[in-house]
């Protein structure tokens, strides 16, 4: 059983705080929960919401179902009431009359608690009481959130008590009470931006430079909060151009360096990306996608930057493109990005998006035991044994020895111009050809390390749906429901997007009876990649241009029409 709660109103009304309080309470009660947001790009006003999907079973997809609508403004009632399921109710103030309104007055309960500003806390308590969350879980949450401010703590505690009691007294609450959870109360309540930052720490990041840009700013903020404990140097640069060049300098010095940005910021970083390619410096770039062009829809989600990331930069140089498939996966993918960047001396771009960055989930604590910890820099001892050190020495694999300056008496030279094996600038066509071919050989080495795609179901002779990134969870849930009726549709999800090895990917797609790509993009970046690599035409495409994520219900309808036709 699941209950879907949508907390809606204007920016500044405490919806995010309410969602976090409720999400933490549900998590600590042994239930599963995923929360995602829909926000307008304004500081105050507008219609925004936070949606929590609470269940006694694991859940991860986006849904349009609303069982309990917490409406903090009249606009929220007017626009979102039609989304209510049969039996769904609205929690609002009495002046916002509606036939689906429950007899539980948010404003009145807030005033009884001593402050109209605690209306969102009243809503948390009401929802908690309706779904059967134990009251003993609530008070510690209020102390954690407001304990540092006595003036806020008392009215919020009163709001929690009165709201919970009001919900318990309502005769119709039984329809919303969830079955007991699985008893696992130690799960984390973790957001995508926290998972990306945690993955960076697990990957050994020691330097971060960036310039704030939604939705990647939160990654920056998390690392800033942890910099002392994690031993990270954090630099807010004057712009994205400076950020990527700082990353290049830190990588040259031997640091595990990283930046995070969105489409417009990445556009400014392109020349610096080419610098990384020329000096063969490892770096991790998290690209939080949102709709474009230009500012586009700055608080919405998209997957439109795949080919931008694939081709960005002048000249040819290898890079790796990765895409986490869930919030927990953000930890693993980002950690491995640092290993891959240093092992192959290339920039690694982690493609995520607003949905994934801003989504929060209940999840088991990650294990870091299997995380890669090897460093690929020459040690001072190894350097001392070398009579000569050549940074760009020719190698069949394309991978030259890499050392940090200052680790030995050897000079470590890099140059943004074409250079010889020692790193000194050259105008020789013969030398330039050798260096270009060396870098291209490295691209072949990178491709050999590509991760296999995640394939669910039997592909041979059956329809195949292909996804990447944040679409994966909703598509997987939609296909599970479709296949429960005997459809037999296979699913392939790509976490390693580029370079995409032709032989194994072609073997999978050519075995399918049809191919459907689901992608939150107006042009279908993955479609062009698959066509280029496998030479097979995609049969169906499900795209979005709205800036909103795909809902499971919509995908069931579209996949049934397209795939099963």
**Residues counted in the chain:** 565
DSSP 220-253: HHHHHHHHHHHT-EEEE-SSHHHHHHHHHHHHHT
Q: What pLDDT, on the 0 to 100 scale, is given for residue 331?
A: 98
CB 393 within 8 A of CB 400: yes
What does DSSP say about strands 347-353 and 320-322: parallel, antiparallel, or unpaired? parallel
> Cα(91)–Cα(101) distance, rounded to whole angstroms?
6
The Cα 20–Cα 533 span in angstroms is 43
Give whole-number Cα distances, 328 to 191, 324, 431, in Å: 9, 8, 46
3-state secondary structure of 321: strand
- Identify the residue whose tokens are 């007991």: 180
Q: Are residues 161 and 24 in the same domain?
A: yes
Strand partners, 3: 54
DSSP-derived secondary structure for 255-295: --EEEEE-HHHHHHTHHHHHHHHHHT--EEEEEEE---STT
Of 448, 477, 508, the one marking the end of a domain is: 448
- Give the SS3 label for residue 308: helix
The tens digit of pLDDT for each residue in 425-455 reads 999 999 999 999 999 999 999 999 999 999 9
Query: What strands lie across the sheet with 514-519, from one edge to the other?
Result: 454-456, 490-494, 463-468, 514-519, 540-543
d(CA 440, CA 354): 33
Query: Which letter does DSSP use for residue 549 in this model?
Result: P
Residue 443 and residue 411 share a domain: yes
CB 178 within 8 A of CB 54: yes
What tokens were used for 483? Answer: 């296949």
Question: Has residue 520 been placed in a domain?
Answer: yes
CA atoms within 13 A on the CB side of 12: 7
Least-confidence region, from 135-139, 244-248, 348-352, 530-534: 135-139
Average confidence score pLDDT of the chain: 95
Provide, rounded to the nearest whole percent, the portion of the chain with pLDDT above 70.
100
Verify that 492 and 537 share a domain, yes or no.
yes
Burial group, residue 432, by CB count within 10 angstroms (0-12, 13-18, 19+): middle
Q: How far apart are CA 494 and CA 452, in angstroms?
A: 8
pLDDT for 565 equals 66
Structure tokens at 361: 């989930």
- Under the banding of pLDDT at 50, 70 and 90, the label for residue 369 is confident
Same domain, residue pair 169 and 197: no
Domain identity same for 405 and 537 = no
Give me the phi and psi of 383, to 5 degrees please.
-65, -40
196 is a domain residue:
yes
Task: Name 285's bridge partners.
Answer: 259, 349
Beta bridge partners of 362: 189
CATH classification of the domain holding 65 = 3.40.920.10
With 0-12 CB in 10 A as exposed, 13-18 as middle and 19+ as buried, what is 481? Answer: middle
**In the prediction, which pLDDT does 435 show?**
96
Tell me whether residue 368 is in a domain.
Answer: no
Question: In the prediction, which pLDDT does 25 show?
Answer: 96
| Residue 176 sits in the same domain as residue 27 | yes
- Domain for residue 374, yes or no? no
In a domain, 372, yes or no: no
Q: Residue 563: what pLDDT?
A: 81
Domain identity same for 30 and 136: yes
- Nearest-angstrom CA–CA distance, 167 and 165: 5
Q: How far apart are CA 22 and CA 51, in angstroms?
A: 11
| Residues forming beta bridges with residue 188, ordered by sequence position | 363
Same domain for 205 and 277, yes or no, is yes
With tokens 């400076």, the residue in question is 242
**Torsion sign across C-alpha atoms 550, 551, 553, 554:** negative
Q: Domain check: are 206 and 326 in the same one?
A: yes
pLDDT in tens, 260-307: 999 999 999 999 999 999 999 999 999 999 999 999 999 999 999 999
pLDDT greater than 80 at residue 410: yes
Which residues, 6 or more positions from 387, have their beta carbon under 8 angstroms from its beta carbon? none
CATH of the domain at 353: 3.40.50.970
Of residues 373, 215, 341, 372, the one with CA closest to residue 276: 341
> Distance between CA atoms of 536 and 538, rounded to whole angstroms?
6
Query: What element of type H or E holds 92?
Result: strand 84-92
Among 423, 448, 473, the domain boundary falls at 448
pLDDT in tens, 458-495: 999 999 999 999 999 999 999 999 999 889 999 999 99
Pairing of strands 360-363, 32-38: antiparallel
What is the number of structural domains in the chain? 4
273 to each of 243, 278, 348, how far by Cα in Å? 11, 9, 10
Same structural domain, 129 and 33: yes
Condensed to tens digits (0 to 9), the pLDDT of residues 517-565 reads: 999 999 889 999 999 999 999 999 999 999 999 999 999 999 999 887 6
The predicted structure's pLDDT at residue 98: 85
Per-residue confidence at 370, pLDDT binned at 50, 70, 90?
confident
The dihedral over CA atoms of 399, 404, 407, 409, expressed in degrees to the nearest 10, equals 70
The answer as to whether 142 is a domain residue is yes
**Confidence at residue 66, expressed as pLDDT on a 0 to 100 scale:** 97
Please tell me whether residues 195 and 158 are part of one structural domain. no
* Structure-token match 């069949």, residue found: 396
Tell me which of 153, 169, 186 is where a domain ends: 186
Angle, CA of 476, 481 and 483, to the nearest 5°: 90
- CATH number (domain holding residue 542): 3.40.50.920
Mean pLDDT of 51-62: 95
Q: Which domain holds residue 464?
A: 454-563
Distance of CA 315 to the CA centre of its chain: 30
Q: In this structure, is residue 273 part of a structural domain?
A: yes
| Nearest-angstrom CA–CA distance, 544 and 534 | 24
Would you tell me how many other CB atoms lie within 10 Å of the CB of residue 458?
A: 12
Q: Does residue 465 belong to any structural domain of this protein? A: yes
Say whether both 122 and 197 belong to one domain: no
């Amino acid at each position: 059983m699941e209950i879907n709660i949508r907390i809606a109103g204007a920016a500044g009304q405490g919806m995010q705080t309410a969602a976090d309080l409720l999400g933490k309470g549900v998590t600590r009660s042994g239930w599963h929960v995923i929360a995602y947001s829909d926000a307008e790009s304004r500081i105050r006003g507008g219609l925004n919401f936070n949606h929590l999907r609470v269940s006694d079973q694991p859940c991860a997809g986006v849904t349009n179902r609303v069982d309990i609508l917490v409406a903090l403004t009249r606009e929220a009632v007017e626009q979102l009431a039609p989304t209510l399921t049969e039996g769904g109710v609205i929690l609002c103030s009495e002046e916002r009359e509606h036939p689906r309104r429950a007899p539980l007055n948010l404003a009145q309960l807030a005033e009884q608690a001593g402050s109209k500003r605690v209306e969102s806390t009243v809503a948390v308590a009401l929802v908690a009481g309706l779904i059967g969350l134990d009251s003993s879980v609530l008070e510690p949450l209020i102390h954690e959130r407001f304990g540092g401010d006595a003036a806020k703590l008392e009215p919020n505690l009163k709001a929690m008590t009165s709201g919970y009691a009001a919900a318990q007294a309502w005769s119709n609450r039984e329809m919303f009470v969830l079955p007991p959870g699985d008893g696992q109360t130690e799960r984390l309540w973790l957001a995508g931006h926290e998972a990306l930052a945690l993955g960076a720490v697990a990957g050994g990041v020691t330097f971060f430079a960036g310039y704030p840009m939604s939705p990647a700013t939160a990654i920056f903020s998390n690392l800033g909060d942890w910099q002392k404990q994690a031993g990270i140097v954090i630099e807010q640069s004057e712009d994205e151009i400076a950020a990527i060049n700082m990353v290049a300098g830190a990588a040259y010095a031997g640091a595990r360096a990283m930046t995070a940005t969105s489409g417009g910021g990445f556009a400014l970083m392109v020349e610096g990306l080419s610098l990384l390619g020329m000096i063969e410096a490892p770096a991790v770039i998290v690209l939080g996608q949102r709709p474009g062009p230009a500012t586009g829809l700055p608080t919405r989600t998209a997957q439109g930057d795949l080919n931008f990331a694939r081709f960005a930069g002048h000249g040819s140089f290898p890079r790796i493109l990765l895409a986490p498939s869930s919030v927990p996966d953000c930890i693993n993918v980002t950690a491995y990005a640092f290993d891959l960047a240093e092992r192959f001396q290339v920039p690694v771009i982690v493609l995520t998006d607003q949905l994934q960055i801003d989504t929060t989930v209940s999840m088991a604590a990650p294990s870091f035991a299997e995380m890669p910890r090897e460093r690929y820099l020459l040690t001072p001892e190894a350097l001392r044994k070398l009579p000569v050190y050549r940074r760009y020495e020719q190698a069949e694999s394309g991978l030259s020895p890499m050392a940090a300056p200052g680790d030995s008496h050897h000079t470590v030279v890099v140059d943004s111009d074409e250079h010889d094996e020692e790193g000194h600038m050259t105008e020789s066509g013969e030398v330039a050809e050798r260096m270009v071919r060396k870098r291209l050989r490295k691209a072949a080495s990178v491709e050999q390390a590509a991760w296999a795609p995640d394939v669910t179901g039997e592909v041979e002779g059956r329809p195949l749906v292909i996804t990447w990134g944040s679409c994966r969870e909703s598509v997987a849930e939609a296909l599970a429901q479709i296949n429960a009726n005997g459809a037999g549709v296979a699913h392939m999800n790509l976490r390693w997007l580029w370079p995409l090895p032709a032989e194994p990917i072609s073997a999978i797609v050519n075995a399918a009876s049809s191919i459907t790509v689901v992608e939150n993009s107006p042009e279908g970046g993955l479609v062009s990649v698959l066509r280029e690599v496998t030479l097979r035409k995609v049969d169906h495409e499900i795209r979005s241009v709205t800036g909103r994520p795909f809902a499971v219900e919509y995908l069931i309808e579209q996949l049934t029409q397209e795939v099963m036709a």
